[in-house]
Amino acid sequence: MSIEDDYVPVSGNRILVTGGAGFIGSNIVDALVPDNDVRVLDDLSGGSRSNVPDEATFFEGDIRNDDDLERATDGVDIVFHQAALVDVDESMRRPEPTHDINLNGTVKVLEHARRESARVVFASSAAVYGHPASVPIAEDSSTDPLSPYGLSKLAAEQYVRLYGELYDLSTVSLRYFNVYGPGQLGGDYSAVISTFVEQAMNGAPITVEGDGAQTRDFVHIDDIVRANVLAAGSEASGVFNVGTGESVSILELAEIVRDAADSESEIVHTDARSGDIDRSRADISALESQLGYEPTVPLANGLERVVDSRSETPLPEDR
């Protein structure tokens, strides 16, 4: 993908993207390699080496390993910390690995960034909010995570903040809402879109959990990349929501996907998921006013691009 010059205030830097072989990380790498010396650190547990462009320097390694981090962070100016275990259901089944990678790994990244005086852009999640009292959800809304994944991101945010305050490290955290886009795998951030697209393109029933009235703020990967680049090129600190400021019901989403895929799939309802959040929509006014961010990809257009990409390049079951 490409990003217009107006959205790229970052050039001439040595940059590390942890998790840079994954869905979000690799898109950030693609945007930055034309004008920067970009490195990727990834253990390939959830990403693919083929996602990393030849122009980037690739290190296969673990963010919890000091030797791996020392090699990857040597002389860097900016760290985009994307590496994480992001599967919420898996975090419920096995919380310890999520804690270890998402929290302990983040502390390791911060410590090595501190040695290099590198700016850190941390990938957090709207999962920190839990059930919101109202929508849209602002950054100062109450945080009450419903999963070990959400809790790990909230705790990691606090370490990011504290490193900034204690050690004068330049840091900022971005709370992603429901990210989607071409190349996304089923276990990624907005698995419902991957599932619906797969079902619609195969002519299978599109399965909606519950009545489908629950709402989400789906944000295209291009806009996530823009937010990251804008954050890296600024001196802003604290936390920022990254979404569109708009929401759609899951039932409406199923209908939009069906139309985008020109499918005749039937929409069927299954049992509601226990503990599912009813409403989610980002208040993005802080990101707009402080960083000049604006969402650029309408949902219908973004879903058409996902369908087109899926038609051209079927996703592997495993990679």
The residue assigned the tokens 């951030």 is 189
What are the two backbone dihedrals, phi and then psi, of residue 124, each rounded to the nearest 5 degrees?
A: -105, -160
How is 25-63 classified by DSSP, letter by letter?
HHHHHHHHTTTSEEEEEE-SSSS-GGGS-TTSEEEE--T
Cα–Cα distance measured from residue 167 to residue 72, given in angstroms and rounded to the nearest whole number: 21
Contacts of 313 (CB under 8 A, 6+ apart): none
Catalytic residue among 7, 129, 149, 293: 149
Residue 192 corresponds to which tokens in the numbers above? 């419902």
Burial 61-86 (b: 16+ CB within 10 A, else e): bbbbeeebbeebbeebbbbbbbbbbb
Please enumerate, as own/partner, the contacts of 164-168 that have beta carbons within 8 Å and a separation of 24 or more.
164/237, 167/114
Cβ pair 161, 170 in contact under 8 A:
no
> In the numeric block, which tokens belong to residue 245?
């400021």
Q: Report the SS3 class of residue 197.
A: helix
149 in catalytic set: yes
Count of helix runs (H) and strand runs (E) in the chain:
11, 13
Q: Which residues are catalytic?
A: 149
